[in-house]
Structure 1
């Protein structure tokens, strides 16, 4: 919908952002009868139609899929620090660093895309529930503040969200990652199954299980609403899936929201400020800058959901200054922008996995294996040198092993012969919520739209360093237990942001003096503003967080609806 379209200026609800949590918020609000406006700062992306590389083979892409160094240096110079992220097949969904500047006191790898659907198009799709081990950790360890909720508060919402999303996985009965409403798993291949059994024989607490992912291993049209279909195991997910086989805003939540007739989407709309009324002590709407024309518009609503991602939402709130909130909307505690977290990775191990030379596998499944956290989950697994834990994502596959000296017919013949199985075990660690790790706005420096520049000042600290060392060592132990050969390790320190699981900065809590949001994801002092993206998180856990964001979102919309009907909001 362009800026020339005649939009009403008043809606029942406004959702800022259209990604994982924003799409879910809009769907739930629309289903409950609320005329809902989504504000998306980037372009429209139409399902299937705008997935330009979805059916391309590598040889169809320019430069065999790689982006030339000159283009990287000009447009993706910060994101290139990850080495793997920007490619020809996904760069249409990746922001250009020169067009979206930010500053760093400590390095922060901010990976994002401004378009309808946000990172729901490119996400890794791993879905793991949190448990009370996570929700109780801060209180038990005296770290930061206590979560205002426990697993029982969110369990029914996990059930609801997983059923709609479609999460394939295998029940394991583990207390640290509770089982959910699973579709049949994408099974481990023969080598991965052998790895599971050998690791379990020596380390029973280390469970190698199929990754739990939001890809439809089986499809039920009565449950998986939207424009969904069964996964074709092409493993081209971050290009956008024309089959709707993985969960995204485009394939799932937005189509359902549109069917209600209650959804309006406005792309190229930069949410600049949440407007606040001193008299009613409520937010009244959003001031929007049109990204194309620079014109300002004001849209009003009774309820506002902020889902612009951790950094985007907090930047919006920090920029929403008034006489009542001179340091940002709802920032009575002074915690807005602080406690910035991410998972950290760049450590792990790999090896040659012997045997199974007479086997192969069919298709390119969109997952490998997952090894849930096994450190610091009870007294028997407690470490004295660091807090919290880590999990692993990995796979075992066959590539090709071609001697360098081969040429001509010998080379051509060997190209079609698979090499040995190799195993990769990548460690993902928890990051503690440090008040010192923060983001803030530089009001003396502005971007092309007149918005203050975001500055990051966050880093890994001693606890994370010790955790990383143990994570690498445990990976080696498992590879040795499986009889692997030629084991190699790595521990390449990553910056916050690189794992693309940034969270914190507007944390939930029971006390308004130490937190921004209450247990219902409401801003303590502005009850008609809800924040349900990653910024609400009070600690980071080890699990990929998106399914938790969606569960919190569904829960918050249900609460907001009840409060509206009761006349409280």
Structure 2
């Protein structure tokens, strides 16, 4: 980390240090640019900074539970289980930066360098033309300006560096990645997969999850200090082994090796500075989160990768005579079309067999059932589709009776087998699902706050009926008992896959970015995080963000050399 005194000029500025911001910094520095990476969060040192990574449950002061003080300071974050005692220090203090919910929205905001790359679920899947063509074919929103063939080489490029384990399936709706050896399903998962295959004649498939955890670390990984996954399943605390992909384990050390990266934490980017005469961005204005000092940094190229909503805040707050409604917002769509996956819908059950079987370690991964609805001859009364994530496991024998040593001995014996399938469904882009700024209500640093007005609608609700019933049907076909179907009604934001508020498109009148993730009207500004997405697919999006980032950096540097930026 370099300590810098403003003003300072760089070749490029990257706003944000998560999966896309970290990848932008890596690619830009490796292509010879001097880069300033800014993040509002505090520093988090790889290995030594993961304070809870090696702790057992009884070493936690509150055994993993949140205190009343933590709940009070985090009124939004504490509504869900992802905010835990073991990683509480990684998340923002909600009371310092509040927001308004016209309709409920769960906004999970980190407060660390590396962002959500430390706590993410690591499920990594390619999108297909089923996703990129859907809007155009169905007359929904606007057409993607790219197709699978445009991004496929960049998926391969990113996957080799990230390290993704998985099984090849040769499915058109879920293209295969360049995989490391797949993690293994346990005996009940294999049984359910076999039952699904035979019952549905290959129309439905269950596979092991495709996950950004190294199963066979290669030299390019070990050269950065990474090692294969240790099957501890404590990933949300940070991994001292570098077994999963994160900014700290992968892109940050790669960028630092070039000697061309300057990282500045505690840096809240308030706006992108626009040069009215040149018609280009000239840099950013930053507020130091510790001192409140305002400062400016300058560059020829700006990548805004503050995560979907952080990016949208920066752009909406970047007001000038040319752009009174936000940087690049001639179309007026900035902040609209907010999407997230809907989930917490599925089924679970128990299984009587395999009483003499168990499994090795704590696999940091589950199973995956790729989308099968609205494909081929399958037509539903809703658009798009869903996939399932889940796992099988043996419960603890918590019903042991008695007391003392005898009871303790009984509790060491495994209980019954259980398995669950939870759907992740696609959300359509709705213009009225949006986020705006409230300039009358400010945060700790005097900045405007966000107002959320988004909801899942009839299409998603119809889809959830199939998500619930299909899960129960597949478990029943595999011979599970005590099946419980459920719909626990997720709110937007809870899947932490927010997308779409500064979308790509072919027409500057209806979109913010072109097919290179470049602003239509401010040519030296690029957005490659979730804000850029034109639709949401039903698969996890982070791999696509990274592929789009690598592709956009390659284009931007070529354009810089031509003096087009």
User: Which of 184, 191, 195 is 1:198 aligned to?
Assistant: 195
- Tell me whether 1:35 sits opposite 2:34 in the alignment: yes
Match of 1:47 in 2: 46
Residues of 2 paired with 1:405 and 1:252: CA distance?
Answer: 49
1:112 Cα deviation after fit? 1.5
Contact 2:181 2:215 in 1 (8 A): yes
Residues of 2 paired with 1:407 and 1:427: CA distance?
Answer: 40
Match of 2:262 in 1: 264
Match of 1:277 in 2: 275
Residues of 1 paired with 2:357 and 2:477: CA distance?
Answer: 22
- Tell me whether 1:89 sits opposite 2:86 in the alignment: yes
Match of 1:487 in 2: 483
What SS class does the counterpart of residue 396 from structure 2 fall into? coil
- Tell me whether 1:537 sits opposite 2:533 in the alignment: yes
- Tell me whether 1:448 sits opposite 2:444 in the alignment: yes
Residues of 2 paired with 1:288 and 1:76: CA distance?
Answer: 25
Contact 1:349 1:425 in 2 (8 A): yes
Contact 2:7 2:295 in 1 (8 A): no
Between Structure 1 and Structure 2, how many residues are aligned?
564
The worse-fitting range, judged by mean Cα deviation, of 262-271 and 96-105 is 96-105
Match of 2:464 in 1: 468
Contact 2:123 2:209 in 1 (8 A): yes
Residues of 1 paired with 2:455 and 2:274: CA distance?
Answer: 34
Match of 2:546 in 1: 550
Per-residue CA deviations over 1:232-269 (Å, capped at 9, x if unaligned) read 10000010000001000000000010000100001111
Residues of 2 paired with 1:403 and 1:288: CA distance?
Answer: 56
Gaps of 5+ in 2: none
The worse-fitting range, judged by mean Cα deviation, of 200-209 and 244-253 is 200-209
Residues of 2 paired with 1:406 and 1:468: CA distance?
Answer: 43
Q: How does 1:2-13 map to 2 (within 5 A)?
A: 5-6=4-5, 9-13=8-12
Task: Please report the TM-score for the alignment, with normalisation by the length of structure 1.
Answer: 0.97
Q: How does 1:237-386 map to 2 (within 5 A)?
A: 237-378=235-376, 380-383=377-380, 385-386=381-382
Q: How does 1:155-170 map to 2 (within 5 A)?
A: 155-170=152-167
Task: Please report the TM-score for the alignment, with normalisation by the length of structure 2.
Answer: 0.98
Residues of 2 paired with 1:162 and 1:341: CA distance?
Answer: 25
Match of 1:182 in 2: 179
What SS class does the counterpart of residue 419 from structure 1 fall into? strand
Residues of 1 paired with 2:388 and 2:543: CA distance?
Answer: 18
Contact 2:105 2:491 in 1 (8 A): yes
1:2 Cα deviation after fit? 7.9
User: Which of 546, 564, 567 is 2:563 aligned to?
Assistant: 567
- Tell me whether 1:396 sits opposite 2:395 in the alignment: no
Gaps of 5+ in 1: none
Per-residue CA deviations over 1:321-364 (Å, capped at 9, x if unaligned) read 01100000000000000000000111111000221111111100
What SS class does the counterpart of residue 554 from structure 2 fall into? helix
Residues of 1 paired with 2:304 and 2:60: CA distance?
Answer: 37
The worse-fitting range, judged by mean Cα deviation, of 294-303 and 403-412 is 403-412
Contact 1:165 1:224 in 2 (8 A): no
CA separation of 1:513/1:431 partners in 2, compared to 1, >3 Å: closer, same or farther? same
| Structural RMSD (CA) | 1.2
Contact 2:2 2:262 in 1 (8 A): no
Residues of 1 paired with 2:50 and 2:559: CA distance?
Answer: 40
